[in-house]
Structures are given as structure tokens and as C-alpha cells.
Amino acid sequence: MTEAVRPKPDECRARSVAQARAKAPLRWAIAATLFGSATLAYCQAGGSFPLIRTASAQFASTLPSVVVSYPLQHDEDARIAFLGQFSAVNRVELRAQVGGVLSEIHFQDGQIVHQGDLLFVIDPTPYEINLAQAKAQLASAQAKYILAKQELYRAQTLKETTFGTAENVDERTADASLAEAAVEAATATIRDAAFDLQHCNIVAPFTGRIGAHQVSIGSLVAGSRFSTSPTTLLGILVSLDPIYFNFDMSEADYLRFETYRRAQGTKFEGRVMIRLSDETHFLHPGQLDFVNNEIDRSSGTIHARAALPNTDLSLTPGAFGRVRLTVSPPAPALLVPDASVLLDQDQHIVLTVADDGTVVPKTVEIGGMRGGLRMIDSGLTAQDRVIIDGIVRANPGMKVKADPGSIKYDAPDGQQ
């Protein structure tokens, strides 16, 4: 059997080098083809490699997106709001002018009653008796007066003859005068008894809402037109339309208001707007009708009052609310959404976006609400881009993607 001849190491090395040199042109051809394809793709991509451009786009898309807008500029007047309380124009405690037993109640507690409506009745029987007695006394006095006049006539007739005397005429004249006075006294007694009988019926002096009755039927009511002792309180009646709103201004606010009122002169109308404690808008128009003539030395405030209609009877005396008072004419102002104003401890912050996309906080002084927007008194300019949406995704100093937006003014406004 023939033995295989194994190649020598030098021969193997030479053969490998020859094979590598034979394959080299093929590798360079493949590399050239790949380079040409990449170059073509670069040119078609406009001079940038797609992989690099895609990476840049992905980096840009990772920036938080916010909506920004320039502050809205609008002419607004300055206003001040004050806490106050409603009160009735008319309020009366219903008390009896005559005493007796309460026999009737003609209303439901809390009912709206009208002027002249019967509310309470005190048993009129004793006063009917007094009136009957007074009428009888008048009849007796009138009869005596008639007799006295007749006797005076006879005395005067007899005086013209020798059967009468001057003294007799004088006596009869005096008797007639006394009888006439008795008639007048009896007439006054009738009026007094009729007055007491009339006031057994307690009626509503004006239209309003009656409170709860303070006595029940069958109770003895103390009442007198001449006694200094307190009489029995039967109930309380308050008027509702119109209604007052009372509030106090500090001395500084009052001076500011007075300056504005003097500057307005005859143009000053005294219009105010009022809202209830459960309302967010000033919905109730009123008219300032009273400002006190002195500042309270103990509190440093001055009392003022506004009157407003209450046709639907929705406003209740004693309820609290806020009144808005104008203290300066309209002037240019910057407005931003109230949600764009952040509270940072004891100051207010508005986040803005610089030209390079950096979030920049601005410390501002805020004013009231106008058209659903917050007034900015200072700390912001008309060229600042304010973040109005996406504020939760922005932090001071970070980069963001700013999309343009707009601020809407809702008119008419009522917020404060």
C-alpha cells in the first residue's frame, strides 16, 4: 500500500499566501461596491446620512411639548372687592299695641306677605265692650247737651220779660257748655275704643317675608300704647325687594375711591357688581347709594351701602357676599390664563419660554380677573412667551418644544 506524501510546512505557507493574493481583488471589489452604494444614498438624502438624520429627529422629539402665547393686551379698569352683608331696607318687630289673648294667626312661618295682609288677631271682645260703652256715653252726653241748649233758650226768652234774670241765663249758658264738652269727651272716648279694637288685628305694614311666630294661639299678649314696659314680640317682618348690601372700606381704599369719584365728576354713576359666597361671578348689579360721613376711629374703616333689585327674592338679608367697586378708569393691562400663574410660597410665578427653548420663571404681581383671565400688574412684558398648556411638563431651566397657541378673552366678564 502506497503511503500518502504529506506536504512540507514551507510548501503549505506558500500555498496560503498564493490563495490570499488570488482572493484580494474580490474583497476590494465588494468594499468598493458597498462604498458606492453608501455614497449614492448620501447624495439622495441631500448630503446627510439617513441614520444620523433619524437619530437627530428622535432626539428632538424627546423634548417636552408645551403651548405658549404672548400675554393678551386689553384695556381694563382697576377694581377692589369688599366683603359685605345683605340687609333689609325695612325691618319691623311686630308688637301688639293692645293686650289680650291671641286668638288667630293668619300666615305660615317664612311666608311672603303683602302690605295690609292680616297676620295676628287678639281677642276683640273686651274692646268691643269698651266701644259700646263709649257710644252709650256719647248718646247720654248728646241728650244732656240738647236739654241744656233748650233750657238756655228758655232762660234767654224769659230774660226779655220780667220773669227771667241774667243770673239764670248765665247758669244755663254754663250748663250748655258743659254738656257740649261732655259730647266731645264721649266722642274722643269712642275714637280711643275704636283704635284699640282696630289694633286687635295686626296687619303687615309692607310687603316682605314674615319670620316664625313668637307666640301661640291662646297666649296672653302684653300690649299698651302708654306703658313703658316692653310689649310682647309677635314676629319679625323684613322687606326683600329692593335689598341693601353693607360693606366697609379701609381708609386707603376709601381715599383711592374718592379720588376716582372726584375725577369722574358728573360722569360717576356709582354702579357696583355683587356676588354671593357660593358664586364665582359677579352677577348682581347694584347702585352705591350711601357712604358714611366719617371714618370709624376704632377700626379705621368707613361704612358704605349699595342698593340692588331682588325681584326673584333670591337674596336674603343677613347673607354674606362680595361687592366689586371700580376705583380707576380703563388702562392697558396684560392678561394670562389663571392656570398659568403658579403659587410659590408667598409669591406668584409665571413660566415663560426663551428663544432657545429654555423655561424661564418670572415673578409677577397679580391683579383681579377680567374675561376669565388673570391680570398681571408687574413682572411680565408683552414680548414674553407664557406657557398656557402643558405646564406640568415644564420645569425651570429645562429645554422644551414650544408650540404656538392663543389666549381667549371671555366677555362680558364677572370674575374677581
Would you say 374 and 335 are in contact if contact means Cβ atoms under 8 Å apart?
yes
Question: 90-121+203-238: which CATH architecture?
Answer: Beta Barrel (2.40)
Quick: pLDDT tens for 170-213. 777 888 888 889 889 999 999 999 999 999 999 999 999 999 99
Total Cβ atoms within 10 A of residue 280: 11
Q: How far is CA 107 from CA 12, 110, 223, in A?
A: 129, 8, 21
What are the residues facing 286 on neighbouring strands? Answer: 272
For residue 122, pLDDT beyond 90:
yes
Could you give phi then psi for residue 227, rounded to 5 degrees? Answer: -80, 145
Q: Which fold has domain 124-199?
A: Helix Hairpins (1.10.287)
Mean pLDDT of 115-135: 93
Closest CA relative to residue 232, chosen from 211, 217, 214, 210? 214
Question: 66-76+330-404: which CATH architecture?
Answer: Beta Barrel (2.40)
Burial of 386 (0-12, 13-18, 19+ CB in 10 A): buried
Residues 6+ apart with CB under 8 A from 197: 124, 127, 128, 130, 131
Quick: pLDDT tens for 51-98. 444 444 555 558 889 999 999 888 887 788 899 999 999 999 999 889
What are the residues facing 83 on neighbouring strands? Answer: 322
Q: Which of these CATH numbers, 2.40.10.120, 2.40.30.170, 2.120.10.30, 3.40.50.1860, describes 80-88+245-326?
A: 2.40.30.170
Mean pLDDT of 357-363: 91
Give the DSSP H/E element, type plus range, for residue 174: helix 166-198
Residues 6+ apart with CB under 8 A from 267: none
Per-residue model confidence (pLDDT) at position 43: 41
Total Cβ atoms within 10 A of residue 341: 17
Quick: pLDDT tens for 204-253. 999 999 999 999 999 999 887 776 677 889 999 999 999 999 999 999 99
User: How does DSSP assign 246-305, residue by residue?
Assistant: EEEEEHHHHHHHHHHHHHHGGG---EEEEEETT-SB--EEEEEEEE-SS--TTT-EEEEE
Mean of pLDDT over the chain: 82
CA distance 298 to 313: 35
Domain locations along the chain:
66-76+330-404, 80-88+245-326, 90-121+203-238, 124-199
Per-residue model confidence (pLDDT) at position 75: 82
Closest CA relative to residue 247, chosen from 289, 278, 279? 289
CA distance 135 to 141: 10
**How sure is the predictor about 320, in pLDDT bands with cuts at 50, 70 and 90?**
very high
Closest CA relative to residue 306, chosen from 335, 273, 347, 355? 273
DSSP assignment, residue 45? T
